[in-house]
Amino acid sequence: MKNEQIKTVEEIEIDLLKCQDQVAYYEAAILKSTALKNRAEILIVQTQTRKLTAATNQLDSQLQSLASHIRELEQNLEAANNLCLEFNAKLITAEVAGLNCSLSEYLN
């Protein structure tokens, strides 16, 4: 039982690390996408002042696409954060079960 419990804890720790990697990926992607969105907003102002309608329209389209992409990344980030919380809860549960098993073996 003790070896099975340790294996479970190790598996949960691996899952948690993978989940934390996903969180880091989504956070980095959001930062990069937000920077691109900010650049597009600046360029829109520049093209509008120069009356470059085609460029403004193209930038506006990209801006809308980036905003949609950022929303999707934020949803994925929230899901990954929730998954990390679940793995943390499972890890604590498995560790407590392992401690209970060890205590039972010690007392018997």
Q: What is the pLDDT of residue 107?
A: 81
| Predicted structure pTM score | 0.79
* Cα 51 to chain centroid, rounded: 40
Q: Is residue 8 part of a domain?
A: yes
- Looking up residue 15, the CATH number of its domain turns out to be 1.20.1500
Contacts of 97 (CB under 8 A, 6+ apart): 5
For residue range 7-18, what is the model confidence (pLDDT) as tens digits? Answer: 688 999 999 999
Kindly report, residue by residue over 68-85, the tens digit of the pLDDT. Answer: 999 999 999 999 999 999
Number of domains present in the structure of the chain: 1
Q: Which domain holds residue 90?
A: 2-99
Q: Look at residue 108 and tell me if it is in a domain.
A: no
Low-confidence ranges of the chain (pLDDT < 70): 1-7
